Structure 1
């Protein structure tokens, strides 16, 4: 899980995940959406996302198609504590 959060900490990787939000894309389509990222750097970021389990990579001939790994993203979301209804009193004041 830590590896997933570390991967999410980079703005470029978040941009890649945003591109994949609605559909699968090949590397060339991702590169077209991120023209300010050098191809070798894009490959690095995609590798980090793959190793963290945040994306699926499927080879199609010469191309690799990337899509979000919904299960891993769901696990990361669920690991973040959610605010609950609570008293406005500090716990030390309740003593």
Structure 2
């Protein structure tokens, strides 16, 4: 199996089970904060946020790097760097098929991030 086929997850967000309660309901543990901060940091770059959006909203649930690269006025290696950052943060998975690499969002991780930021409406 090539490196591109296996997800490069530096921090295993799947192992962080106590992270999903909203910030307004429970303190985030140090372990969860470390794992989640890497994901938020990866999304803190405008290009990576756009890439994540393109991948997550792609028809069929995946996007080819060949479709992602032309959307930016950046070099291929720069786009590859941003995609590697998203993989290492655990936000996307990659699979090589021939010459191209296809990316899929990890919905469970996105749900964890969304849950953390969820705010219940204030009682009137």
Tell me the TM-score range normalised by the shorter chain.
0.7 to 0.9
Q: What's the CA shift for 1:53?
A: 0.9
1:29 paired residue number = 67
Worse overlay, 74-83 or 42-51:
74-83
**2:107 corresponds to 1:70:** yes
Q: d(CA) in 2 for partners of 1:81 and 1:73?
A: 12
Q: In 1, Cα distance between the equivalents of 2:41 and 2:110?
A: 13
Quote the offset at 1:30 in angstroms: 0.5
Q: Compute the displacement of 1:25 (Å).
A: 1.4
What is the alpha-carbon distance in structure 2 between the residues aligned to residue 37 and residue 83 of structure 1? 40
Residue 60 (1) aligns with residue 97 (2): yes
What residue in structure 1 maps to residue 75 of structure 2? Answer: 38
SS in 2 for 1:5: helix
Superimposed CA distance per residue, residues 21-74 of structure 1 (whole angstroms, 9 cap, x where no aligned partner): 13311111111222x011111011000000011111011122110111111111
Alpha-carbon offset, residue 14 of structure 1 = 0.8
Check if 1:5 corresponds to 2:40: yes
Which stretches in structure 1 are left out of the alignment for 5+ residues?
88-95
Distance 2:101 2:44 in 1: 24
Q: Which runs of 5+ in 2 are unaligned?
A: 1-35
RMSD of aligned C-alpha atoms? 1.4
| Structure exhibiting the larger radius of gyration computed from Cα positions | 1
- How many residue pairs were aligned? 86
